[in-house]
Amino acid sequence: MTEIARYRGETCETVQDWVTEEVALEIRINGAPFAITMRTPGDDFALVAGLLFAEEIIAGRDDVRAMGYGTEESDPERKNLVQVELSQAAREYVRKERYLPISASCGVCGKASLAGLGSSLTPLPPDSIAFSPALLYSLPPKLRAVQEVFQRTGGLHAAGLFDHDGNLLALKEDVGRHNAVDKVIGGKVMEGAVPLSNRILLVSGRVSFEIVQKAARAQIPVLCAVSAPSSLAVAMAQTIGMTLVGFLRGDGMNVYADAKRVFANAETKRA
């Protein structure tokens, strides 16, 4: 809580209000610095696992030998440091392929060239799964209803994972859009539940290339957002066969890629 001056028209009052917590998290791999990311504390191990999974440093939970906070119990910053011990195979990848620490939750950082963007992503299978528009319209209200911290602060992004019936399977909030996605996917990685086929990922903001990359890495076939996608996000979704939905609000949406998963069972019209 923090004290603020709240204005309504020409009237001002001093009140206590919630603000979103943002704290730096340092990640070390096998004792060496790897990344510093700004995040909302909570679900830190899922965040780290999701980030490492998205960056293809781990393929699953078996590549993580151990994960924990800083070892000095008396250090007040102990829980702002996550240390990861990797399997030998994952160690070799870091040693040979990663030249510099990456910045927060960035799927582009550390790549040798723009030509390498998305080059390792596996195309999604053209399965028969289809979602009605009505089901997709129902998802944003379900997400907002359980965003407890957002309701207090108005300052957090959210990512929600839904099954094919529209049931919410996981919700994570964070000050960073990418972090929220990493927390959702990372939690499933550590549960041994990837790939996430026949699932829908909904994010509360816009969709960038990095979010498409993270969803594709987990083999999520449908990615939805309440705001707009970038041009690179659309191009990548089209390339790998991902259904990409933007401006999912009320009873409307735009489908930017692979509309067959959405409209297979619905009447379509062309303008």
Per-residue pLDDT tens digits for 135-164: 999 999 999 888 765 556 556 789 999 999
Catalytic hit among 12, 106, 109, 224:
106
Active site residue 224: no
133-263 CATH fold: Cytidine Deaminase; domain 2 (3.40.140)
Task: Judge whether 162 and 139 are in contact, CB under 8 Å.
Answer: yes
| pLDDT higher than threshold 80 for residue 2 | no
Residue 231 pairs with which residues in a beta bridge?
A: none
Adjacent-strand bridge partners of 243: 222
Side chain identity, residue 238? Q
Question: Domain residue spans in the chain?
Answer: 23-114, 133-263
pLDDT tens digits, one per residue of 62-91:
999 999 998 777 777 788 999 999 998 888
**Rounded CA separation 114/51 (Å):** 20
CB 99 within 8 A of CB 210: no
Q: Please, how many CA atoms are within 13 Å of residue 149, restricted to the half-sphere of its CB?
A: 17
pLDDT tens per residue across span 179-233: 999 999 999 999 999 999 999 999 988 888 889 999 999 999 999 999 888 888 8
